[in-house]
Amino acid sequence: MLLIVFTLSMFASATLLFLVEPMIAKMLLPLLGGTPAVWNTCMVFFQIMLLAGYFYAYVAMKWLGRRTQIVVHLTLVLLPLLVSSLPLHLPRGWEPPTQNSPVFWLLGVLVVSVGLPFFVLSSSTPVLQRWFGDTHHKQASDPYFLYAASNVGSLAGLMAYPFLLEPLLRLSEQSRLWKSGYIIFVLMTLACAALVWNSKSRLATMNLAEAETAATKRIWVERLRWIALAFVPSSLMIGITTALTTDVPAIPLFWVLPLALYLISFILVFAKRQLISHDWLVRRMPFLILAALVPVVSQTKLPLALLLTLYLLVLFVVALVCHGELARSRPAVSRLTEFYLWISVGGVIGGIFNSLVAPLVFHSVLEFPLVLIAAALLRPPIDVKALTGSALLWAKRKDWLLPLALGIVMLAVIIGVGHFGFKPSRPLNILLFGYAMLWCLSFGKRPVRFAAGVAALFFASTFYPGSFGHILHAERSFYGVSRVTNDPDGKFRYLFHGGTIHGIQSLDDTKSREPLAYFTRNGPAGDIFRTEQARLPHGNIAVVGLGAGAMACHLAPGQTLTYYEIDPSVTGIAENPKYFTFLSQCAPNAKIILGDARLKLRDAPDGQYGLISLDAFSGDTIPMHLVTREAVELYKRKLAPGGVLVFQISNLYLQMSPILAALADDAHLKIATADDTYVSPKEIEDGKFPSRWIVMARDEKAIHDLATNSSTPGRWVPVERRQGTRVWTDDYSNLLSIIKWH
């Protein structure tokens, strides 16, 4: 009975804890443009609150008597129900800053909205586990198996959200359901307290020799090792989440998968029976680290399914190895809360490093390869013979000399490739990095040598131009990494956001006013602007998403242009004539409003714009909150009579048409689409990209005029709503239904 009640209580607390994480993050996404940094910052907050909960548990167990502990903890558990923290909701009137990073604003919102219940739940795992460890149950001497049960609950909560709660329930319904679950957790905690209220502490009878033995193990070397082993999987989890959601939407599924594997690793290593051999994992880890490094060093864009599989497999194996080392070094039950405290410290440092330090210090996502190097260093050695004397000295020297040789050779080859004019390509990448990877893999038995080899390989690869070409400028903000580059032929200048091109300009002065990429004059964008010029030659145009500013060159004399851009770094790049001259040449008086478009468009007068075009991006997609019922109603209010609403939906990973068709039908708007995906080799050479567009309007005439003014007859066709497609709202969306998995 005792074991069942404690197991179910810990399962319930962990389930609630990890249900609330994606739920509150999804509530916040509409305020911050759908950027993956929202989730990463939320993860830092969750880790800090977890550390605070573990610290409270450590202090309470160390300084308070049994019954005092119980009274204090029960009071804490009841507090969220007494101070109106539930159901969960965001505080009213809080709007993110537009000029500065919203990180600290976001942390403040999280403290106010979910801080107290999250703190309570995070403290319950070590408190309940320690209460059980103090009993005379036959399994109380090693209660770490309850940590596995807790992580099973965490996993259940995580997986339930994207596959059950998100597709079926609105956010308000999810919040009310979560409150009901919290009440059940309170009742179960009361039951645990009742079961241990009169029991004597098993630890109180521990003899002096055991206490002295426990005390001798409290050394800082051990604690620092715990911190390091917890740091690497935590940092890698957030780094992989960033990598996965840079070019695909920041949706709960892609947050949940890395975190789920992270939790499963704890379940497996702290279980009573080991299902996967620790030594087997240690031997496979070098190969997987190098495999994960391939897209980074070669700047190759892999298919989503392959990238997802590779990164998640690497995270899982690294987490199993690091957490396995933690499980092997777990202390006696008397130090249980201390052990969890130091693990939490490592997790928090990993989160802070990735989410707060890295965006300020690095111009690109360097934290991912750096933590792979740290993982290589922490990995236990493989079949290393005991050496002494000169043999040991020579082996240690080779730990640095061989990686140095690898780095020098790689650097020389990369410089030579550039000197002889070889352009980056898949065969060249295989030839260039394949041999280097095999050479580095030969260092795998010795952790220091292998880590140094990985570092040398990564350093040399920074001189390889890859798909980005010659980088003129790189800048990182809360919203991602922006790069300005020239192509190897010197014909075009590119603006990259993450790994996706979001602007091209010809370096030929005679062609520098020509919109390229998705916005060419002979493509759908040209059709849209020609129609708008004929209909409203002196109209106002709003464009959501600045990019390089190419749309400015579609502007006719007498028309005014207003850009809405959330990322200050993109604005700085587009306005700087050193990088792009679309704005300075074509629309020097264009207005740029910084901030989220949904929030800023509310301030525009109703009926202000004859055309609203959405080309906002978070990686390779329109942020979800810009394609909801409430968003479309806002756009309708801001459109002038006869105005049109435009969506640029060119996308590698999402099929947006069904959602937009449902929204148009719901808003009683006419809708048409243009599929301009066939682009000739000559057009590609001239800088044109395949594109897809959707236009909505109140009346059929606007759609008819668009088809009439098209440079390609029959390009614009109506879109029918698919039967059963549910309308997205601010309270409901389901991106799983529109992901392209192939």
Query: What does the pLDDT look like over 183-230, one tens digit per residue?
Result: 999 999 999 888 888 766 554 444 434 444 444 545 778 889 999 999
Contacts of residue 691, Cβ cutoff 8 Å, sequence gap at least 6: 518, 523, 524, 525, 648, 650, 676, 677
Task: Give me the pLDDT at residue 414, please.
Answer: 83
Task: Tell me, yes or no, whether 384 lies in a domain.
Answer: no
| H or E segment to which residue 54 belongs | helix 36-63
Are 563 and 451 in the same domain?
no
User: Which of 330, 347, 378 finishes a domain?
Assistant: 378
The CATH number of whichever domain residue 222 belongs to comes to 1.20.1250.20
Are 294 and 189 contained in the same domain?
A: yes
The answer to whether the CB of 129 falls within 8 A of the CB of 9 is no
> Which residue among 467, 489, 511 closes a domain?
467
Mean pLDDT of the 380-401 span: 78
Residue span of the structural domain in which 453 resides:
389-467
Label residue 334 left, alpha or beta by phi (over 0 means left) and psi (-120 to 50 means alpha).
Answer: alpha
- Please give the single-letter amino acid code of residue 666: D
Instruction: Report if residue 472 sits inside a domain.
Output: no
Exposed, middle or buried by CB within 10 Å (0-12, 13-18, 19+), for 636? Answer: middle
Residues 660, 737: Cα–Cα separation, whole Å: 13
Q: Mean pLDDT, to the nearest integer, of 16-30?
A: 82
267, 225: one domain: yes
Helices and strands counted in the chain (H then E): 26, 12
**Both structure tokens of 574:** 């587009």
Q: How many domains does the chain have?
A: 3
Residues with Cβ within 8 Å of 593's Cβ and at least 6 positions away in sequence, in order, are 562, 563, 564, 565, 600
- Starting at the earlier edge strand, list the strands of the sheet with 670-676: 591-594, 560-565, 540-544, 609-614, 639-648, 691-697, 670-676, 716-718
CA nearest neighbour of 253 among 658, 656, 662, 654: 654
pTM over 0.85: no
Contact 53, 343 (CB under 8 A): no
* Residue 479 DSSP code: T
Q: What CA–CA distances, in Å, run from 729 to 23, 171, 315, 726?
A: 15, 10, 34, 9
In a domain, 414, yes or no: yes
597-622 pLDDT per residue, tens: 888 898 999 999 999 999 874 445 55
Instruction: Report the SS3 class of residue 445.
Output: coil
What positions carry a catalytic annotation?
Answer: 615
Q: Is 501 within the bounds of a domain?
A: no
Higher pLDDT, 575 or 33: 575
Residues 602 and 643 in one domain: yes
| Distance, CA of 405 to CA of 411 (rounded, Å) | 10
Please give the C-alpha separations between residue 362 and each of 469, 472, 475, 722, in angstroms, as whole numbers: 19, 16, 8, 45
Q: Is residue 282 part of a domain?
A: yes
pLDDT of residue 199: 67
Q: What is the pLDDT of residue 33?
A: 59
226 and 348 inside one domain: yes
Residue 271, classed as helix, strand or coil, is coil
Identify the band that residue 575 occupies on the pLDDT scale cut at 50, 70 and 90: very high
Residue 383 counted as domain residue = no
pLDDT digits (tens, 9 = 90+) for 406-418: 999 988 888 887 7
Check residue 380 and report its DSSP letter: P
| Region of poorest pLDDT, from 228-237, 587-596, 629-638, 732-741 | 732-741
Angle, in degrees to the nearest 10, between helices 220-245 and 252-269:
150
- Could you tell me which residue, 54 or 616, shows the higher pLDDT? 54
Q: Does 673 lie in the same domain as 546? A: yes
User: Is residue 499 domain-resident?
Assistant: no
CATH of the domain at 690: 3.40.50.150
